[in-house]
Structure 1
């Protein structure tokens, strides 16, 4: 479910959104995504009253940020020798970009809940039982050793961990905040099993995930094992 490092993905998304802060670039992006087909540099420049070089620079920057895709087509309708070089065209990228501060993981929760509902419908397993199992399985996958320790992994996935004097690790951010507020028992149970899976996947014997609700914090804490 997680292919890339979440921090790297978030940094790339922030960079992409920042690229749209430049007014000319934003106008070009809006023009391209509103067109029914790919747009050439000349077409974009003429539509917005820009120099071709200016349009090309900003369109390429949008492509570099994965906001636009580049395709090549021959607009003459001819092929073979003498048909000319294919034109460089731009169209909306299929990439989805979202930035949330504090870090939120609602898509992850949605996927786990959908998987649990599907398994329940197929097997008759209670939805909550299926959800806990799916969450723990995913946590184990996230925790498979890749050089990160427990604290680093929690930071990577937006939990904002903090060491306490007691030796526990408090989690100052809940990636599922709005869902946990409205569906506390379901979402906090899912989160507990997710983090139990992370601990298990890392082979971490020094901590255990425990429910410990506290206002403004994640409902789970990592308590030291006596």
Structure 2
């Protein structure tokens, strides 16, 4: 399963929102549902007949669905109908479109839990395996962020600024409470964090600590803040 995850700086998944908005039309929704039911590439004529409109109008709406990332197009096999051209055919993309406000990253949490089950080491408890895997995922995200931004030497303030970019993309809604402390106003693992706070908050802390290690922000720590009304972790200058 692939999630569309190219959010804007505020953590909102713009392509996914645009894709869902494209379906706020009876004709497009009907043609998209038809293409999914057929489980094969469909022509403009077939899509038009499915919803009872002209081929020209169907072509307009099908191309809008392609622009929104819901369908992809190709060209039909077989004899050429017009000189030098084969008819266009359309089929659904494989990506899963998901929009949640505020942002949620349940797929990340599920991936961490699944990998921990499969990669649990001898003598390691399940909880230890989960935290280790979460830290590894965070470390990889930190290395990726460092390669992308090339931040150079990181003091506490600069490290927190770099971290804020990642935090927004993951939906944490960071807020700089002071020059050396960032609070997280949203938990992307909610509401699962309410059901198992010790487990999920531990995963959260391990992931963010791993990120800080990956981005080489050794002077900043991911600290648990028990009883916090929002995310259970804050990033702050290490004492």
TM-score range, shorter chain: 0.7 to 0.9
Alignment pair present for 1:161 and 2:174? yes
In structure 1, what is the Cα distance between the partners aligned to 2:169 and 2:40? 38
Higher relative contact order (CA 8 A, sep 6+): 2
Residue in 2 that maps onto 1:54: 57
Q: How far has the Cα of 1:192 moved from its partner? A: 0.6
List aligned pairs for 1:60-75, cutoff 5 A.
60-74=63-77
Q: How far has the Cα of 1:105 moved from its partner? A: 0.6
Change (3 A) 1:36 1:143: closer
Q: How far has the Cα of 1:164 moved from its partner? A: 1.4
Residue in 2 that maps onto 1:221: 234
Q: Deviations over 1:29-83 (max 9, x none)?
A: 12222224321101121232212111001111111222112232235xx69xx99
User: Aligned pair count?
Assistant: 221
Alignment pair present for 1:125 and 2:124? yes
Q: How far has the Cα of 1:114 moved from its partner? A: 0.6
Change (3 A) 1:167 1:83: closer
Tell me, yes or no, if the aligned pair for 1:19 and 1:25 is still in contact at 8 Å: yes
Structure 1 portions without partners, runs of 5+ = none
Q: How far has the Cα of 1:28 moved from its partner? A: 1.6
In structure 2, what is the Cα distance between the partners aligned to 1:22 and 1:3? 23
Task: Name the TM-score, length of structure 2 as normaliser.
Answer: 0.83
Alignment pair present for 1:12 and 2:31? no
In structure 1, what is the Cα distance between the partners aligned to 2:7 and 2:110? 20
Residue in 2 that maps onto 1:197: 210
Residue in 1 that maps onto 2:136: 137
